[in-house]
Structures are given as C-alpha cells and as structure tokens.
Structure 1
Amino acid sequence: MSIRIITDSASDLPKSVIDAHNIEVLPLIVYLDGKEYLDSVTIQPDEVYKAMKAGSEVKTAQIPLSYFIDKFESYAQSTDYYIYLSFSSVLSGTYQSAALAYEAVKEKYADFEMTIIDTKCVSLGLGIIVVEAAKLAEDGASRDEIVNYIQKTMPHMVHVFSVDDMAYLLRGGRVSRSQAVIGNLLNIKPILHVQEGALIAFDKAKGKKRLLSKLYDYIAERGTKLDQQIVGIAHTLNEEEALEVKGHFETVYGTRQFIITQLGCAVGAHCGPGMITIFFKNEL
C-alpha cells in the first residue's frame, strides 16, 4: 500500500515541486468579475493580479462538498492510503467540507480510511509541510510516522506577510477604512503573521527599506537552524523583492533550500499585488 499526500491549492506549491513528489492538489474556486475558475488550473495567479491592478473584482470560495465526495469516492476504490493536509480552517471552510465528505463516503464504503488534517497553516507554510510529508512517504515512512511528523511540525511553522496596498486588507476586513487610507497616504506597510490559523496584523513599517529591516529582525528573533531547513518565499508580482529576501537568507544564515513562487489566488486575492511572504520553522 502506497501513501499519497493530498493538499489544496492554498499550499501555493510550484508545479515542478508537485510533480516531483507526486502530490495531488485540489483547487479552490476563484471568481474574476463574476466568472468562476479553478485556482491555478483554469486561471493562473499572474492573470488574477494583473486583473486586480486593472480594477477587476476577485473573490474566492472553498472547495465544494460535492467535489470532495467525488474525489474521496475515487480514493475509496484505490489500494493507496491518503493523507489530506488542509488550508487553515480559520480562513476557509475547505477543511470542514473535507471532513463532511469523508463521513458521507464512509457510509457507502465502510472500510475506507484516510487522514484529514487541519494544518492551521497558509500558503507555503502549508506547502513546506506537504513537501516534507511527501518525502517521508517516498522514503517508506509509515502512516503513523508521517501523521506524527505533520502534527509535530504544524505549530512551529512561522508565517510573516506584508502587503503593498492596504486597500486589499480593507476589503477582507483586516484593517479599517481610516487605517487603509492613512496607511497608503503615508506609505505604511502592515506586517502580518499567522496565529492559531488566523492572519493577524501585528506591526507596520514606513516604506520598503524599513519594512525589510523589520522582516529581517522578525526572522532573526524566531528562526532556528535556518541553514538546515526549507525556507519558503512567495510574492505577488514582486519577484525582485523575493530574490532580495532569498539573498539575505543565503548571506546571513547559509540557507540553501528554498521554495520561491508566486502566491496563489486563494490567499493573494485578499492581499493584492506587491505582497511578500516568508515561511520558516522556529524549531526543528
């Protein structure tokens, strides 16, 4: 029996990484000017962010229950064992839909078993754990060993974000209208992290230079053995800054393992173009 690792498109993993480790990715829903798309399947992040810059309305939705049921029924007819690592349940109903779908499929296939985990992680915070779980499966680790590793690692995944335009955070209810207007006028960049699965604003910086300085301080305070782990860097139409952050990790910490990618639609649609996000562990 093989162990298959499943995740959703909020993991933001590049296709090359997905293919290399035989990871199955289930797409969230993206609405662009009212038209429905499948995240990173029928629409790509570049298209979404360019449309946002042009003033288009973008919304996202969780994976439908019916989609999960169809998928899980196909898994029930396989000899493989499936572990699904989900986007944070605080930010999406996808985990709850997966759990409901599993119970529905169990009624039809009584012997069907799979593990569904609410990682409380976002973007490459989720993606890095997914990749490490897939590598464990490739190396022949048991189901219990993989699940135990995931559960042990989840609380130690650090996420730190900043956005370029606070108007997008206003739309998502993360800041007030006055904060967004004043912040943009004064070139204030909010800094956010993930706490118990929720995206929380906890600091701010004036201008890009000061922002990067604060991000680097945050990494120095919380990172552990950064030369021995995968660091994730995701951005929205902001590759130059992503590569600058990569250079900082290489120079200061000797980091050699990276996943660098465009932020997917599920998270990026709520934060807008110009975003930079960094992911690493505070304990190995």
Structure 2
Amino acid sequence: MNNKKIGIVVDSTFKLDKDFQEKEAIEVVYLDIIVDNQVFKDGEVSNETIYEAMSHNKKVTTTQPTPARFKDAFDKLLNEGYEHVICLTISASLSGTNNSANLAKSMLDDPNRVTVIDTRTAICGSEYIAESLVKLRSQETELNVILEKLEQKMAQGSVIFTVDDLGILVKSGRLSKLSGMIGNLLKIKPILRFDQGKLEVEHKVRSSDNVIKYLVQEVGKLQEKAKTIVKIAYTTTSDLGLQLEKEIKAKFEDVKVSFSGKISAVVAVHVGSAGLGIYLTNE
C-alpha cells in the first residue's frame, strides 16, 4: 500500500498545528462547546473566554461530534482516492468521540476501509500519536505494520498534569469526590497521571516549584532507560511550562522537549484553569 493512500482523520482535541495539518492533508472533526445554550465549534472561543464564563456561573458544557461529521470526513478522503483511512480519537474513557467515529464507520458502504483507534491519551499525547502516524505513513508501506507500530507507540507514553482546583474534574466524574475533597481542603497541588485511559492522582505537592521538581524527576527516570521525548501543554498561561522546559534542557542533554501550546478548549472545560501537562514517552 502506497503511503499516500492512507488518509488520516483526528478530532479537534488534538489541536494540531494548522500548517502541519494542511501539509499532511489531515481531516479534523470538531467537537462543540456550549455556553449558555450558544454553540461554538472547538477553537472558536479561547480558554480564557471559557473560564471567564464559568467564573460568572454560566453553564459551559461540551458535546462529542455526531457520527455524521465523522462520516463526512471519511467519505471525503475515500472519494479523494485514499485506499484506507485511519481515524485517531481522544481516549474513549474521556469522551464518547470514539464511539461516534465507530458509528460513522458502520454507516459506510465498506467499513473495512476505515480503522478507528482509541489513542488512550489526550492533549499533547494525542498530538504525539498523530505525528507518529504521519511518520509511519511515510516510512512503511503495509497497513498492518503501520497499525502494529502505532500501537507500540501508544503503549509507551503517559500524560502527567496538574491543576489548581480539582472541583471541575470531580464534577465531570473523571476523579473521585474523596480525592478532590482532600486535595482542595489541604490546598495542595495534585499531580495526576493519565496512562492508557486511566486517570489517577499520583503525587501531591504544595507549590508550583515542587510541581516542576517532580516533573523533572519523572523525566529523569525515563531518560535513564532510553531516549526520551517530552511535549508540554498548558491551559491559559505558559510561564510554568517555559520554566519546566528550561529546567529539563539544563539537566538533560539528550531529552527532546517541545512546546505544544494551549490545550483544546473542549479539554480545558474539563480540566480547569492554571493547568500544566506533559506527555512523556521513549522514542
């Protein structure tokens, strides 16, 4: 199979670089954000605007794409001559987006021409998986080899992130009420790990400096095993991320660090403000 015969579809939470997306002809299926009954496409409103609305007690929710949106993306690529389409989605444990993609696949005349993959990750982790797929598409010719190697990539990495207020994660059902209550009462900064679709509180610290210290330690542990890749993302401000990037580069010469920038507004709704996250993996 010629690598140019494999089309790629992702959802908007991947927040891929626009130039990269267009260069690689990647189709993006958007999720929606609803602010007091007004519907916005993911990316049409900033994270800051969302948090401002939430601070004024406006109802802010998100919705997964309809199967029709995914089917339109699949049809577009198949009609353009791609022999097969690989669709990557945010972790199924976080969103029903993967289910919508699978429903769209079942609506096709030939569902076997589409492979829907639950990346089991989110934010900069999803971005890394999409970039990995693009590289594999250019390096390999067999679909089964591409899928096998992509699975290996997905099994290696995890997202580690911190937030100031656990309330939003508890409210969305993504974190237990007990963990959220303890964290907020003690005024600690919880550090959470999202690994293979499972979210857990991994560590607790009391300052931003200690957040940085812990994340650098985790990079060091992985760096001892193999060449390490770190992707950094944040919700609203980049200060803490830039500090982390600086410290990682100062301590480890062979760690590849890159800045993904702000996370998708849809994900930001469920994470809360003042969030910082990294995707940590071995190459």
**CA 35–198 in structure 1, closer or farther in 2 if over 3 Å, else same:** farther
User: 1:151: Cα distance to partner?
Assistant: 0.7
Partner of 1:231: 230
Task: Give the TM-score normalised by structure 1.
Answer: 0.86
Residues 44-81 of structure 1, C-alpha deviations (whole Å, 9 max, x = no match): 43432343345433211211122222322333323113
Partner of 1:13: 16
Q: Distance in 1 between matches of 2:111 and 2:180?
A: 52
Partner of 1:34: 37
Q: Distance in 1 between matches of 2:156 and 2:58?
A: 36
Partner of 1:90: 93
Partner of 1:263: 263
User: 1:230: Cα distance to partner?
Assistant: 4.1
Q: Distance in 2 between matches of 1:104 and 1:214?
A: 47
User: 1:137: Cα distance to partner?
Assistant: 2.3
Which SS does the other structure have where 1:270 is aligned? helix
Partner of 1:63: 65
- Asked if 2 retains the 8 angstrom alpha-carbon contact of 1:13 and 1:261, the reply is no
Most deviating of 111-120 and 154-163: 111-120
User: 1:35: Cα distance to partner?
Assistant: 1.5
**How many residue pairs get matched?**
277
**CA 13–187 in structure 1, closer or farther in 2 if over 3 Å, else same:** farther
Q: Distance in 2 between matches of 1:83 and 1:224?
A: 33
Q: Distance in 2 between matches of 1:21 and 1:223?
A: 30
Which SS does the other structure have where 2:266 is aligned? helix
- Asked if 2 retains the 8 angstrom alpha-carbon contact of 1:14 and 1:261, the reply is no
Partner of 2:145: 145
In the TM superposition, 1:101-120 aligns within 5 A as: 101-105=104-108, 109-110=109-110, 113-120=113-120
User: 1:241: Cα distance to partner?
Assistant: 0.5
Which SS does the other structure have where 2:62 is aligned? strand
Q: Distance in 2 between matches of 1:31 and 1:100?
A: 23
Which SS does the other structure have where 2:110 is aligned? coil
- Asked if 2 retains the 8 angstrom alpha-carbon contact of 1:4 and 1:82, the reply is yes
Partner of 1:248: 247
Q: Give ranges in structure 2 of 5+ residues lacking alignment.
A: none
Choose which of 50, 53, 57 in structure 2 pairs with 1:51. 53
- Asked if 1 retains the 8 angstrom alpha-carbon contact of 2:27 and 2:73, the reply is no
- Asked if 2 retains the 8 angstrom alpha-carbon contact of 1:120 and 1:197, the reply is yes
Most deviating of 91-100 and 192-201: 192-201
In the TM superposition, 1:170-249 aligns within 5 A as: 170-173=170-173, 174-176=175-177, 180=180, 183-184=183-184, 186-223=186-223, 228=227, 230-249=229-248
- Asked if 1 retains the 8 angstrom alpha-carbon contact of 2:89 and 2:98, the reply is yes
Partner of 1:162: 162
* Counterpart code for 2:137: A
User: 1:152: Cα distance to partner?
Assistant: 0.9
**CA 206–114 in structure 1, closer or farther in 2 if over 3 Å, else same:** same
- Asked if 2 retains the 8 angstrom alpha-carbon contact of 1:68 and 1:98, the reply is yes
Most deviating of 156-165 and 187-196: 187-196
User: 1:229: Cα distance to partner?
Assistant: 5.0
**CA 64–123 in structure 1, closer or farther in 2 if over 3 Å, else same:** same
Q: Distance in 1 between matches of 2:48 and 2:218?
A: 28
* Counterpart code for 1:188: I
**CA 217–54 in structure 1, closer or farther in 2 if over 3 Å, else same:** farther
Q: Distance in 2 between matches of 1:141 and 1:101?
A: 26
Identity among equivalent positions (%) equals: 26
In the TM superposition, 1:118-133 aligns within 5 A as: 118-133=118-133
Q: Distance in 2 between matches of 1:239 and 1:54?
A: 24
Q: Distance in 2 between matches of 1:67 and 1:252?
A: 45
User: 1:160: Cα distance to partner?
Assistant: 0.2
Q: Distance in 2 between matches of 1:14 and 1:78?
A: 23
Partner of 2:27: 24
- Asked if 2 retains the 8 angstrom alpha-carbon contact of 1:9 and 1:26, the reply is yes
* Counterpart code for 1:72: F
Task: Give the TM-score normalised by structure 2.
Answer: 0.87
User: 1:96: Cα distance to partner?
Assistant: 1.5
Most deviating of 160-169 and 69-78: 69-78
Q: Distance in 1 between matches of 2:17 and 2:50?
A: 16
